[in-house]
Structure 1
Amino acid sequence: MSKKLIIAEKPSVAGDIARALGGFTKHDEYFESEDFVLSSAVGHLLELTCPEDYEVKRGKWSFAHLPVIPPHFDLRPIEKSEPRLKLLTRLIKRKDVDGLVNACDAGREGELIFNYIVQHAKSGKPVQRLWLQSMTQQAIKEGFSRLRAGAEMKGLADAAVCRSESDWLVGINGTRAMTAFNSKTGGFHLTTVGRVQTPTLALMVEREDKIRKFKARPYWELEGCFTCTAGTYKGKWFDEKFAKGKTEEDEHQRAERLWDESRAKALQAKCAGRSGDVSEETKPSTQLSPLLFDLTSLQREANSRFGFSAKSTLGLAQALYEKHKVLTYPRTDARALPEDYLPTVKATLAILTGEGVGKGHDETLLARYSPFAHQILARQWVIPNKRIFNNAKISDHFAIIPTLQAPKHLSEPEQKLYDMVVKRFLAVFHPAAEFMISTRITRVEGEPFKTEGKVLINPGWLSVYGREGQEGDEGNLVAVEPKEQVLAEEVVLNATETRPPPRYSEATLLSAMEGAGKMVDDEELKAAMAGRGLGTPATRAQIIENLLGEQYLHRENRELQPTAKAFSLMTLLNGLGIPELTSPELTGDWEWKLARMERGEMSREEFMKQIAKMTQHIVDRAKSYDSDTIPGDFGELATPCPKCGGKVKETYKKFQCVACDFSLWKIVASRQFEAAEIETLLTERKIGPITGFRNKMGRPFNAIIKLNTENSPEFDFGQGANGDDSNAEEVDFSQQEALGACPKCASRVFGHGMAYVCEKSVGPSKSCNFRSGKVILQQSVEEEQMKKLLATGRTDLLKDFISARTKRKFSAFLVRGIDGKVGFEFEKREPKTKSPPKAKKILTEKSATGKSASKKESPIKKAG
């Protein structure tokens, strides 16, 4: 009997499909029933590679072998998942399998994963497509009842392959070309670029450049305090003739701002203590609820409200979709629902009432939503509405909404995200909020002062949010009788100054990426521009993480700040004249073309021809310049040359004295120095410990940099860093303050080099071996924390350790063991319901890093 092979993207989805369809028997890595064989990938199983004839074996970072533009691409298995690929290939080739069902995620990446597997298996068997927006059993059954023909997905498949190949071509050639350029004068200076990540970085650098160049301008505002029969109120002076300009110079102009202090003081003197006439206009105003969430707007709001990174939000939304089945497919760019979705919406609202959902579900959460869900159903507010139900505003996926599955066992972050989505879902069916807006003009000696009031008359959708949605309402104004004269009892002159634009947070960066750099506040207009954005909702989080991982960005609380390495890359690309990699609008246009390809409006051949042309241009420009000729806006250091006292100026690659041969390379051991760090080095002749260096094997290390007697920089890892103090001199700690008592021998502990050490652990006569790094797994350990560790046995919770094995951040306390060694203690978490409580887990640095810590308690290594 013939069967169809169903291939899902992940094992958990395969399990869901097996439960929904029923009748399956579980084998090692697949299920089987009378009609189907069912298995899954584990994400991507294959990656692009150059065909053997075009692959550069040696000198791949040399200009001589660039550009690499093969006529076609081969695929190679990803090593860690190769056993799964072999299983799927075997199942595809089974004689009783006469057709395939693509059950991978509904989108570009899912299409790519499936098609690469079929291509690798050289299968010509017919394909059908399962298209799921929700992971409930009902949705899965409905999906199998209306499988699409594989041919319908050709546009999506072409766009997926083009995206993959274009990223390979631009990433490989661009990165090799820029690395070759930066390595001309010696060393190996890896300089990564990408078709989407580099224009995104350009947005950040442009904003940071504006902040650095910003010069504050003072201005003044006048605020009058007016007394009338019913009480007092305040009003701001404003220029009635003001018209907002459109040039950059007018950016800070406002009707209420006065740029001349003498005029401001004259107006203050003119109006203070005088009586005034009042005119008032009151008119109704309405405010619609926000649109339903797509992924980008969800990530923005979660970052603004909870500080969640874009990557964390995507992970939580994916878990709510895939594991808990309580949200629809999250990787969407649509903010509307299908026009035939009204019955599903009503059924979902019935679930949110909490009635008939059975035991075990989160009754507290459902109790929050029940009155609003009841009200929507009772008043029949779910009606055809193009703002909510609109097929024209949906491509592959619709907006993120709750499913017919009631929530249970959600973690706190999952609960926060689910609550955001449900409230937005409930709010969109409520009527608009209604306000009365009052504008009062008080004229004193002919000078106008404006007072505005906003009173909520009918909360409408704001009722779903309670106080949270009503923050910022100004409230009622004190009443003024008709023709009543008021007294300007006091006129206050407030002096302030203009501020630079704020740095990007992940929320505002996502907005900028969505609009290809154009900051647009209007949600409807933003939705219209989204098709020309940088990346897609599904990829933007990873782009930001890549920029952080490559040290192009640092995360400071919720702000993202570009590094010197980012500025250097933009200087290089702008100097070379490669707008294809720096212009957000131009790169957003490529994304728009991929979307057109999905709809069958553009051919794969035409798009790839344009990408090949772009790749050739990038390499040609890099070949045609020398590093000394790259133009840029380079500065001058405030600190003089340590060798001759001359001026030290920045060039593309160095900090160079203009009067002698003294110079410092900007990039050392793959790390680029900030100008401020070089200032510190020249002033104090030492800086550190600092992180971010990489040795020849690509492994990170931390070090102190010192200027030696010849004014050359060199690494200093601290005396005895390698455990050999036999020839060392005694260390004089008399000028330092002790941090506490050594946990091993009760002597004193001091900061020394890259570590905190027992005074008896250094020098030729050492008798103790206590040493703990100032930087452990890329987390700086400040002196205050070491004092706490020595005094109490543990530090505060430190949040920026990075695992040497997984490369992921983790939080832990540093604790002092019974033997005096320093180890990790992880934050105690509340045990899950009906699970036995777990003991706190304490690890030494050896167990966390996978390496012995007997000689060195800190995973700090000297550059190899």
Structure 2
Amino acid sequence: MDHPKALIIAEKPSVANDIAKALGGFTKYEDYFESDDFVISSAVGHLLEIAAPEEFDVKRGKWSFANLPVVPPYFDLRPIAKTESRLKVLQKLIKRKDINQLINACDAGREGELIFRLIAQHAKAPQAIKRLWLQSMTPAAIRDGFASLRSDADMQPLADAARCRSEADWMVGINGTRAMTAFNSKSGGFFLTTVGRVQTPTLSIVVEREELIRKFVSKDYWEVKAEFIAAAGVYEGRWFDPKFKKDVAAPDARENRLWSEAAAQSIVAACRDKKASVKEEAKPATQLAPQLFDLTSLQREANARFGFSAKNTLGLAQALYERHKVLTYPRTDAKALPEDYLDTVKQTMENLAENSSEYRPFAKQILQGDPKDPKAKAGYGWIKPNKRIFDNSKISDHFAIIPTLESPKSLSEPEQKLYDLVVRRFLAVFYPAAEFRVTTRITEASGHHFKTEGRVLVSPGWLTVYGRSNQADDELVAVQEGETVQTESISAIPLKTKPPARYTEATLLSAMESAGKWVDDDEMREAMAEKGLGTPATRAAIIEGLLAEKYMVREARELIPTAKAFQLMTLLRGLDVEELTRP
């Protein structure tokens, strides 16, 4: 037998190419690379899908309730037609006599695990399996990954989870879609009504919000605003009720809202041209830098800041990871780094200080740190153990998205914007907290109280990274202790209560992420506390799927459910299918 070799299967051709370059010594053939020890080839995403075996399946004409649900005793694998030639290449390589080991180099996540497992199952591969687990695509990271391959036994739980999810999606999606389609088509015709395990509960969140907006009845209320003259100048105050307490029964009530014009006008009349006394208290406040990005928080920020859709952000982050190699693996749900990552962070900072004029001053400042800090390690500055940043217990498969040691070359404008978001967040997290002085001033005229708030930035801390320096945001006009001020002008302002806002992609991603909190069953809520609807990697596709199926439309940044969505929800509620209408 020839010298035994390991077959490395990557998820896409570009990754196979990167692995060959990083390991070196390969000859390129049409569909694979080969060296003395390895053969490398790749899938192109999913090559197989699960399906019910022929004898258990129900054909489209028979989609009636009598033939449902379809619960096959096992699942067959069906090659996906447009990539079948790729599957044949891999099968041929797996059957080679000199291949004695398979290395799964598909994306390091649940989906990558499934892509590989289905190929190995379909080819009835007898070889031992090892797993390449990458956090970033730099050549050094690829070589390190090969030096510490994971065992097949280590990966079994992830493989089981991947299979379980894909089979659950099939069971709910196929049976739900067929049942709803049968119901909608019972008086003739064929009305395809798609339903999904994650898609439909997500849609219910959007529909429920729209129902609240439609039912909303606006109420009139008044606020009273006054201007007061002090020796140093004029400032504004807003009337409030110091005895106000929040009440669940009155969700619209606020400390500064008056529900009748007469009440507002009586305050105006009582305080007009009157003298007033002033009390104020100033408290220091600090604000920590936001945590490092996981995929969902990056998608939210990019949607709020640049209007990027969740799908676009994922595509850009994937390109920055795979093609440009300047970011770590993006499909992550962690906002922390491993506890042994201080040295890598230090190298990354040194790299930014050396190669980027834009980030140099911040990276240098972090490496320099505070010379008087006794805890700082020489050369590490502000980079030190800190559970908010370095915490193994907060990491499952992958850690937070951070820049790699590669410097970016030729990024497109959207790629540059996203890269900048990640780098600035990475720099900011090592900076000290921003410090403010918050002043609350209460002006009392004729027994009525007016509130004025001012916030002054004392030390910008991490805000420096975002271009903020020590400036007064809303510095209040100074009032001396015991000074009496004069009411200069006062008026009642008529306003209306507003309905809840429609979801944008940013707010819907947040709602999906925290969907566990809305579960009524205590035990289920406990189980879902850390989990939401979908995973960071699938949420974008779920939203896009609902748009493609015309269950929602995008108007400016708002997501609006269509009549089709309302029909489906009415139908599911009418049939009492709670599982698909609640998170």
Partner residue in 2 for 1:18: 20
1:506-538 residue CA offsets vs partner (Å, 9 max, x unmatched): 00000000001759xxxxxxxx97732000000
Q: Give SS of 1:402's match.
A: coil
Partner residue in 2 for 1:171: 173
Partner residue in 2 for 1:458: 459
**CA drift at 1:354:** 3.1
Q: What does residue range 403-422 of structure 1 map to in structure 2 within 5 Å?
A: 403-422=404-423
Structure with higher Rg: it is 1
Cα distance in 1 between the residues matched to 2:540 and 2:470:
30
Cα distance in 2 between the residues matched to 1:3 and 1:282:
71
**CA drift at 1:223:** 0.8
8 Å CA contact 1:462–1:470 kept in 2: the answer is no
Partner residue in 1 for 2:138: 136
Q: What does residue range 54-133 of structure 1 map to in structure 2 within 5 Å?
A: 54-57=56-59, 59-133=61-135
Q: Give SS of 1:531's match.
A: coil
Partner residue in 1 for 2:435: 434
Partner residue in 1 for 2:378: none
Partner residue in 1 for 2:502: 503
Cα distance in 2 between the residues matched to 1:181 and 1:57:
16
Equivalent of 1:41, from 40, 43, 58?
Answer: 43
1:425-452 residue CA offsets vs partner (Å, 9 max, x unmatched): 0000000000000011111011111111
8 Å CA contact 1:9–1:42 kept in 2: the answer is yes
**CA drift at 1:264:** 0.8
1:630-654 residue CA offsets vs partner (Å, 9 max, x unmatched): xxxxxxxxxxxxxxxxxxxxxxxxx
1:666-712 residue CA offsets vs partner (Å, 9 max, x unmatched): xxxxxxxxxxxxxxxxxxxxxxxxxxxxxxxxxxxxxxxxxxxxxxx
Q: Give SS of 2:441's match.
A: strand
Cα distance in 1 between the residues matched to 2:388 and 2:119:
40
Q: Give SS of 1:569's match.
A: helix
Partner residue in 2 for 1:339: 339
Q: What does residue range 239-278 of structure 1 map to in structure 2 within 5 Å?
A: 239-247=241-249, 250-278=250-278
Partner residue in 1 for 2:549: 550
Please tell me the residue identity of whatever aligns with 2:286. Answer: T
Partner residue in 2 for 1:829: none
Cα distance in 1 between the residues matched to 2:60 and 2:215:
44
Please tell me the residue identity of whatever aligns with 2:425. Answer: R
Cα distance in 1 between the residues matched to 2:516 and 2:307:
22
Equivalent of 2:358, from 341, 347, 368?
Answer: 368
Cα distance in 2 between the residues matched to 1:486 and 1:367:
51
2:483 maps to 1:484 = yes
1:345-396 residue CA offsets vs partner (Å, 9 max, x unmatched): 11111111134xxxxxxxxxx2211100011011100000000000000000
Q: Give SS of 1:490's match.
A: strand
Q: Give SS of 2:357's match.
A: helix
How many equivalent residue pairs? 562
Which residues of structure 2 form unaligned runs of 5+? 370-380, 519-526
Partner residue in 2 for 1:308: 308
8 Å CA contact 2:516–2:529 kept in 1: the answer is no
Partner residue in 2 for 1:348: 348
Quick one: structure 1 residues 60 and 322, their matched pair in 2 at CA, closer, same or farther if it must change by over 3 Å? farther
Q: Give SS of 1:397's match.
A: coil
Cα distance in 1 between the residues matched to 2:516 and 2:388:
26
**CA drift at 1:568:** 0.7
8 Å CA contact 2:459–2:470 kept in 1: the answer is no
Q: Give SS of 1:532's match.
A: coil
2:206 maps to 1:204 = yes
Point out which structure has higher relative CO (alpha carbons under 8 A, 6+ apart): 2
Q: Give SS of 2:358's match.
A: helix
Cα distance in 1 between the residues matched to 2:26 and 2:443:
78
Partner residue in 1 for 2:229: 227
**CA drift at 1:145:** 0.5
**CA drift at 1:470:** 9.5
Please tell me the residue identity of whatever aligns with 2:491. Answer: V
**CA drift at 1:57:** 3.5
Cα distance in 1 between the residues matched to 2:17 and 2:403:
21
Partner residue in 2 for 1:576: 575
Partner residue in 2 for 1:150: 152
Please tell me the residue identity of whatever aligns with 1:294. Answer: D
**CA drift at 1:475:** 2.0
Cα distance in 1 between the residues matched to 2:114 and 2:441:
61
1:299-325 residue CA offsets vs partner (Å, 9 max, x unmatched): 111111111111011000000000000
Cα distance in 2 between the residues matched to 1:493 and 1:567:
41
Cα distance in 2 between the residues matched to 1:513 and 1:377:
38
TM norm structure 1 = 0.64
Partner residue in 2 for 1:563: 562
1:246-290 residue CA offsets vs partner (Å, 9 max, x unmatched): 24xx22211011112111110110011100111110111100000
**CA drift at 1:65:** 1.6
Please tell me the residue identity of whatever aligns with 1:134. Answer: S
Cα distance in 2 between the residues matched to 1:393 and 1:412:
33
Please tell me the residue identity of whatever aligns with 1:335. Answer: K
2:389 maps to 1:399 = no
Cα distance in 1 between the residues matched to 2:182 and 2:457:
63
8 Å CA contact 1:231–1:478 kept in 2: the answer is yes
Cα distance in 1 between the residues matched to 2:473 and 2:141:
46
Cα distance in 2 between the residues matched to 1:530 and 1:503:
25
Please tell me the residue identity of whatever aligns with 1:342. Answer: L
2:289 maps to 1:293 = no
Partner residue in 2 for 1:377: 367
Cα distance in 2 between the residues matched to 1:514 and 1:33:
45
Cα distance in 1 between the residues matched to 2:516 and 2:24:
49
Q: Give SS of 2:406's match.
A: coil
Partner residue in 1 for 2:524: none
Cα distance in 2 between the residues matched to 1:456 and 1:553:
43
8 Å CA contact 2:516–2:528 kept in 1: the answer is no
Cα distance in 2 between the residues matched to 1:492 and 1:321:
57
Cα distance in 1 between the residues matched to 2:412 and 2:320:
10
Q: What does residue range 186-197 of structure 1 map to in structure 2 within 5 Å?
A: 186-197=188-199
Cα distance in 2 between the residues matched to 1:111 and 1:139:
19
8 Å CA contact 1:440–1:452 kept in 2: the answer is yes
Q: What does residue range 817-832 of structure 1 map to in structure 2 within 5 Å?
A: none
8 Å CA contact 1:59–1:65 kept in 2: the answer is no
Q: Give SS of 2:534's match.
A: coil
User: Whose helix fraction is larger, Structure 1's or Structure 2's?
Assistant: 2
TM norm structure 2 = 0.95
Quick one: structure 1 residues 58 and 570, their matched pair in 2 at CA, closer, same or farther if it must change by over 3 Å? closer
Partner residue in 2 for 1:759: none
Cα distance in 2 between the residues matched to 1:312 and 1:393:
27
8 Å CA contact 1:31–1:39 kept in 2: the answer is yes
Cα distance in 1 between the residues matched to 2:272 and 2:327:
60
1:724-747 residue CA offsets vs partner (Å, 9 max, x unmatched): xxxxxxxxxxxxxxxxxxxxxxxx
Partner residue in 2 for 1:321: 321
8 Å CA contact 2:206–2:561 kept in 1: the answer is yes
Please tell me the residue identity of whatever aligns with 2:262. Answer: S
8 Å CA contact 2:516–2:531 kept in 1: the answer is no
1:18-44 residue CA offsets vs partner (Å, 9 max, x unmatched): 111111110111000111011110000
Equivalent of 1:9, from 6, 11, 20?
Answer: 11
Identity %: 67
